[in-house]
Chain A
């Protein structure tokens, strides 16, 4: 492939933009089918309770009500764990989370559902469902949940660990451990040791679009589901498993997705809408309210993290140790494993130990959130590294550079770094005008942090069809959650030698395109991009053969370059892509190219963020003066979109750092289930976010790209905590760093 590109690296308008700026883009909540009913879900008011009695007869009798379902309508789920979406899911737990059977495990846990002619009738019907609960003691604090006397969420669940399965049942679902070298010896060699404990709160992905699905169980037995998801096949497989129904008879049509960030990897009520539709014989739409989104869909783990790191006087790390306690919510499966993986990944540390704990609490089951598990771990690690650098009298970037990981460095969890750019982002920061310009003024401080995310490859499929006018249709298995229709069409255009406007990308449904994993793990442009390249190459190979037939020459003599087929030895034997495309249907039939693969050798991403803040010493208010996010992205396919990913990710990390957090009372009631009280960043809270792309070709992708979407959410809390320390003299060990918390750390309150 040529090194000089015509499409890769340019900044065309995104293909989905015109529909989105005119209000014409179709999201799941916009889908209307003939005769469609409106579904609503009855949810538990208790954080932990046994369901003694459930009577839906009065709701069924309400005029306008067409269907009512409960857990009784779901077939008994198999007690098996399968990979689905980004993580592994036990279907018994997934079934129980879809509609509770004998116990409710969090406020918002679904208990029953109704479909009616109008949404207001469905709401009235929910009030008529009689549920008798026996409230049980709830536990929402992570450390209390693993105390000996804690109320048990699942009385038959035991702790899994290297030692086997625990004798007693526990809310501690798993204990993972990794050791490198000799940690005790490493700490003995250290001249300086810093040891701290950190706490972070449960946060939500905060996508603006509440979950929505429209399902129709047709008389032909075909279940059609329009839904906002990161992966149509993940939804199809979940519904197929929960209903024990043939996959081919479930058609999942992914709509536009109004933000996801990991929170739309899973399926909450697609199957409920389908069951309601079967009973009513009509399509059913279910749309969540914001309170339902906050209380009944997967947030990200609250955590407790204990860190200890040692270094010598000359600034060399000798040992690191961490205990990570992550909330799983009501069912096992927190991202503590990736927290362990990323925690010290930017560093080369000879000795270390990591202990990760997956802890059940009476909160909704955790779902992925952009670099799942990484942000709290990075916050803890980077605050400690900053303190170590200060104690050693070293510039924080210089300290990181001295210890930075390289290709071949082994992490404490046993993984080994491939081709990475940790050093490159630190050096780019050292040279950046933001870092070289002194920050002046009282109550101001500058902080840095480096963050890591491993990214992903996995399974993708796509098809390219050639049209007679020289345009092509690109049918993608990957849902577009971040502009990937554009970045994937660009890769097709580059290979086919066509201008971008000749390539028309569409996201396919599960009946049209090959199996494709969720759009998650920053994998789509990387992995599906390679499927696209293969499909485009398959098109070219077939078109070369057709040209060879037309010219009556061996196929090896037909070359292809920049959209032109030719032979070297006859000037008349040259034809543009469009000219050949026009002849396909008359010379043997149409040509399509298919790309299927399981992408390996994906590249990890490092981000280094620099934050300048001013802290009001009387109110504790943090004002971010300047913010720069530097990231190694490999080659940027569409630099503007890459900048957008970095800016958006950084701002989610800033929200996590300063404002966002679930608050609960002792009974497990969420105190802030609105967007007024769960405070996400507004335009007014932020400065411009400067995104700096460090572009070094990544060797294991034909165009040299790395995944970019998740890394930018990882460093902000660390960078801001370190900046607040320089501004106030107070070290931060909790998120969110609210004004009240900062004043307490400053000993003003």
Chain B
């Protein structure tokens, strides 16, 4: 089987890689590009641990083929913080203790970012609805919902300054 060349913007950088046509985006990120922040929990789109943004849209990277992202832009958990510091969502997850084992956390954060990109000031029901595609087995979601709320409030405040 022949490998295909894929050119994509990964976390803001032009990136080229070779992959088999059957390899998922998740496999390409983890096994070829060494971006192991996205996690495999089910490999069939039901847990959300592999959530990334594809052209700003939330996707399960296990359900996207690597070759499909040719010419597109992908943001993973590794692209959420930059050298200036953590994203307000990451800070809020730390402050509110919104994680335990941490395995769902990268996907949960990417899903939360996708929510706040569209709905900067979500209510509790909107947060719970949006995060329903991301399973967490440790926290019972309570502190995650609070952290997303807190991050939204902080980002609103910063925007108003």
Contact = CB atoms under 8 A, between A and B. Distances in A.
A648 B100 contact: yes
Interface in A463-508: 481-483
Contacts of B22: 120
B102 A256 contact: yes
A44 interface: no
A163 to B, nearest CB: 42
A641 B99 CA distance: 10
A675 B46 contact: yes
A209 interface: yes
A256 B39 CA distance: 13
B interface, by DSSP: helix, strand, loop or mixed?
A: loop
B86 interface: yes
Interface string A37-51: 000000000000000
B66 to A, nearest CB: 13
A148 interface: no
Contacts of B144: 683
A377 to B, nearest CB: 22
B116 interface: no
Contact of A675 (B44, B76, B106): B44
Contacts of B38: 23
B4 to A, nearest CB: 15
Q: Give the one of B35, B101, B104, B138 with max A CB within 10 A.
A: B101
Interface residues of A, number: 59
Nearest to B20: A120
Contacts of B81: 22
Given A21-B105, A648-B140, A683-B132, A208 B36 contact: no
A648 to B, nearest CB: 5
B102 A258 contact: yes
Interface string A673-709: 0111000111111101100000000000000000000
B22 to A, nearest CB: 7
Interface string A642-673: 01100111111000000000000000000000
Contacts of A453: none
Contacts of A674: 42, 44, 46
A649 B142 CA distance: 12
B136 interface: yes
Contacts of B90: 21-22
B133 to A, nearest CB: 8
B141 interface: yes
A317 interface: no
Contacts of B139: 644, 647-648, 651
Nearest to A675: B46
A23 B131 contact: no
B76 A23 contact: yes
Given A21-B109, A27-B103, A683-B127, A258 B97 contact: no
Interface stretch (A11-19, A137-145, A404-412): A11-19
A372 interface: no
Nearest to A289: B43
Interface in B2-49: 20, 22, 30, 34-44, 46-47, 49
Interface string B72-90: 0000111011000010001
A674 B62 CA distance: 14
A17 B69 CA distance: 31
A441 B60 CA distance: 40
Nearest to B38: A23
Given A290-B44, A675-B44, A684-B132, A689 B103 contact: no
B135 interface: yes
Nearest to A27: B103
Given A261-B137, A675-B47, A23 B143 contact: no
Interface in A194-208: 205-208
A676 B94 contact: no
A482 B99 CA distance: 10
Given A675-B42, A675-B44, A209 B141 contact: no
Nearest to B97: A640
B151 to A, nearest CB: 11
Q: Give the one of B80, B134, B143 with max A CB within 10 A.
A: B143
A682 B106 CA distance: 17
A473 B34 CA distance: 30
Contacts of B101: 207-209, 256-260, 481
Nearest to A18: B94
Nearest to B34: A32
Nearest to A11: B97
Contacts of B57: none
Nearest to A650: B140
Nearest to B105: A20
Contacts of B143: 640, 643-644, 647
B44 A22 contact: no
A25 interface: yes
A648 B138 contact: yes
A643 B100 CA distance: 12
B138 A22 contact: no
B40 A682 contact: no
Given A14-B97, A683-B131, A258 B103 contact: yes
A390 interface: no
A25 B37 CA distance: 8
B53 to A, nearest CB: 14
Contact of A210 (B40, B93, B124): B40
B94 A21 contact: yes
B93 to A, nearest CB: 5
Nearest to A287: B40
Contact of A648 (B30, B137, B145): B137
Interface string A258-301: 11110000000000000000000000000101100000000000
A16 B101 CA distance: 9
B129 A684 contact: yes
A16 B93 CA distance: 12
A499 B41 CA distance: 37
A118 to B, nearest CB: 9
Contacts of A25: 102
B106 A23 contact: yes
A644 B40 CA distance: 24
A417 B9 CA distance: 62
A205 B40 CA distance: 17
A24 interface: yes
A738 to B, nearest CB: 19
Contacts of B131: 682-684
Contact of A689 (B39, B77, B127, B140): B140
A607 to B, nearest CB: 14
B135 A644 contact: no
Given A683-B128, A683-B144, A684-B132, A23 B137 contact: no
Given A256-B102, A681-B140, 7 more contacts: A19-B102, A29-B36, A207-B103, A209-B39, A643-B143, A674-B42, A675-B42
The 4 closest A-B pairs by CB, nearest first: A23-B37, A258-B103, A20-B102, A651-B140
Interface of B: 20, 22, 30, 34-44, 46-47, 49, 76-78, 80-81, 86, 90, 93-95, 97, 99-106, 109, 124, 127-129, 131-145
Interface of A: 11, 13-14, 16-27, 29-30, 32, 120, 205-210, 256-261, 287, 289-290, 481-483, 640-641, 643-644, 647-652, 674-676, 680-686, 688-689
17 contacts: A13-B94, A13-B95, A14-B99, A22-B86, A30-B30, A208-B47, A259-B137, A290-B47, A482-B100, A644-B97, A648-B139, A651-B141, A675-B41, A675-B47, A682-B133, A682-B135, A685-B132
